[in-house]
A and B are shown apart, each in its own frame.
Chain A
Amino acid sequence: MKLQKALIIIGLMVCLDLDAAAYLDPGTGSYILQMLVAGVLGGLYAIKLYWNKILNFFKGTSSDDDSLEDLGDE
C-alpha cells in the first residue's frame, strides 16, 4: 500500500510539472481556487448531462456534448 501511495504521489508530481512549457503564470491563488471549485462544477456538469439525456430520450432527439456551439444573436 505504501509503495502504491508513493507511486501515485510521484505520478502526480510528474503530471503536475508546471514549469514544463507554460509561459503564463497561472497564479497560486487562482490554481487553488480552480481545484477547489472545478470538482463541484464537474459534478453539476455530470448531472446536467444526465438530465439532458433524459430530456432527449423523451423528446426523441440526440445531442453531442463535445460538438462546437454556434456564436450568434441572442
Chain B
Amino acid sequence: MNKLNASFRDPAGFIFRDENGTILRQVNQAGKSDYDTLMDSGLYDVLSNKDFLISHEEVENKNSEVYKTIKPDLLPFISYPYEWTFSQLKDAALLTLYIQKAAIAKDVCLKDASAYNVQFVNGKPVFIDTLSFEKYVEGEPWVAYKQFCQHFLAPLALAAYKDVRCLQLLKNYIDGIPLDLASSLLPRKSKLKLSITTHIHWHAKSQKKHASDTEVKAKASKGKVSRLAMKGLIDNLISAVKGLKWKLDNTEWGEYYTFTNYSDTNFDRKKELVSSYIDKSSPKSLWDLGANDGTFSSIGASKGIHTVAFDIDPIAVEKNYRRVRKEGIPMLPLQQDLTNPTPAIGWAHTERDSLQMRGKADTVMALALIHHIAISNNVPLERIAEYLSKLCNHLIMEFVPKEDSQVKILLATREDIFPQYNLDGFEQAFSQYFDVVEKDQVGDSHRTLYLLKTK
C-alpha cells in the first residue's frame, strides 16, 4: 500500500494507491461514525447528484480492521489554491459554504474547510474529501470557521481590495493566510464592509486577545451557536464571498491575441499544425505551458483530451477559467511561473506535489514561450530542453528566432548575449533530449513548429 501524504492529519482515514495504481480511500474505525453520518443522512446523494461532492463506490476491504475502503472517481489533475485564479478560489469558497449549508439542513457539519478539499473538473469545483463530514450537534460552533477564513476569505479579500498577486501568499502559508497578517495588509476601506470587519479584522483581534488562553472549553461553554445562528453565519459568509470582486477595466481585459505578430493565414496554419501534432502524439493528458487565454489549449480540449492550460498572467488565466466554466470543457486553467515552478510544500515536502511530480504529461505544448525563458530569463537552451524532457513524452515546441518582432522587442533594451539562440543552436540543444518527429515552418512567418519525442 502506498499511502499518499496529502491526507495524514485526519485520523478518520487516508488516501492510498493500491498495487494496481488505483487511488482508494481507507475509512478507519475512527472514521466510521463520520462516514455513516454522511451516507445515512442522505447528504451524500444530494451532493453527489449535483456534482458538488466526488462520487465513490465501496470496494472490497482487504483488511478486516479497516471499516471501509472506497474508490472515488478519478481526478485528471490535482491543482492547488496557489495555482488558482481569483474566480477559482471564489467558486471553491462558495462550494464549501453551500455544502455546509446543505449539511446543516441534514444534521451534518463540515469538520474542516480546507481549500485543498476542492478540485476542478470540467470548469467546475468539486469537493473531494468524503471524510470531511461529521454529525452536527446543535449549539456547537463551527469548528472550521477559522480555517475557512484563512483559506478562503482572507486571500479573496486581499486579492479584491489590495492586489490579486496576494493569492500567491498561499504558497507560503499552507494552512491559509494568518488573519492578523490579512488584517494588517488590507486597506482601511475594507473596514467599511461589515462582513470583512467581522470575519477578518475583529476575528484577528479576538485571536490576539485570546492567544494564550487555553481554557477554550470553559469559555465556549459560556455560550452556544444555535441552528439559526449557524445558518446566519454561513449566509453571511456566502454574502461576504459573493461581494468580493476582482475589478479590471476594459483595456486590461482586452484581446490578448491582437498583440501577436501572426497574420490571420499564419495563425490558422499554426492551429492546423498544432492540431495534427496533437493527433500524431495521441495524448491522454496535455499540458499547455504559456497557454495565454487558452486559444491553443482548446484544440486539445475539443478533442476530449484533458488539458491543463498554464500561464504566468493571472488575467489570462482568469479569462480562460471564466470561459471554461461557461463551456464545461475538459480544461483546467492554472497560474504557473515556469521560471519558478510550483515547489513541493508541506511536511517533509510531501504534502503538496511540485509541478514535475504531477507529470509526466503525455504531451506538453510550449508555443511562443521559448524566447521568454531563454532571452528574458537567461535560461540556456540545453537547460530548457532538459527540464521539458522531464515533464513529457512528446513536446510540441515553437521556435521563435531573433528575426521575429517579439524577440526584437525583448532584445531592444538589452545586450544580445545569446549567440546560440538560433535554429541550429535550438536543434543542437534539444537533440540531446528529444528526437524530431515532425518539423514545419509556420506559413511564411519566421517561426518553426516541432513535434519532438523524449529520448
Residue ranges of A at the interface with B (Cβ–Cβ < 8 Å): 9, 12-13, 15-16, 18, 21-24, 26-46, 48, 65-66, 68-69, 71-74
Q: How far is the CA of A35 from the CA of B149 in the complex (A)?
A: 15
Q: How far is the CA of A66 from the CA of B217 in the complex (A)?
A: 31
CB–CB A46/B203 < 8 A: no
CB–CB B322/A15 < 8 A: no
Residue ranges of B at the interface with A (Cβ–Cβ < 8 Å): 9-12, 30, 33-34, 46-47, 50, 52, 91, 94-95, 98, 101-102, 105, 111-112, 124-125, 134, 137-147, 149, 198, 202-203, 206-211, 213-217, 219-226, 228-233, 235-236, 242, 322, 325-326
CB–CB B139/A12 < 8 A: yes
- Which listed residue, B145, B149, B216, touches A18 by the CB 8 Å rule? B216
Q: How far is the CA of A28 from the CA of B222 in the complex (A)?
A: 13
Give me 16 other A-B pairs in contact (C-beta within 8 A), A35-B224, A41-B232 excluded: A16-B139, A16-B140, A16-B220, A18-B143, A24-B147, A26-B216, A28-B211, A28-B216, A29-B206, A29-B208, A35-B220, A35-B222, A35-B223, A35-B225, A38-B229, A48-B235
Q: With A22-B143, A23-B10, A35-B223 given, is the CB distance from A66 to B102 under 8 Å?
A: yes
Q: How far is the CA of A15 from the CA of B322 in the complex (A)?
A: 44
CB neighbours (8 Å) of B215 from chain A are 28
- Which listed residue, A23, A34, A40, touches B141 by the CB 8 Å rule? A34
CB neighbours (8 Å) of A66 from chain B are 101-102, 105
CB–CB A38/B233 < 8 A: yes
CB neighbours (8 Å) of B95 from chain A are 71
- Which listed residue, B213, B224, B229, touches A41 by the CB 8 Å rule? B229
CB–CB A34/B225 < 8 A: yes
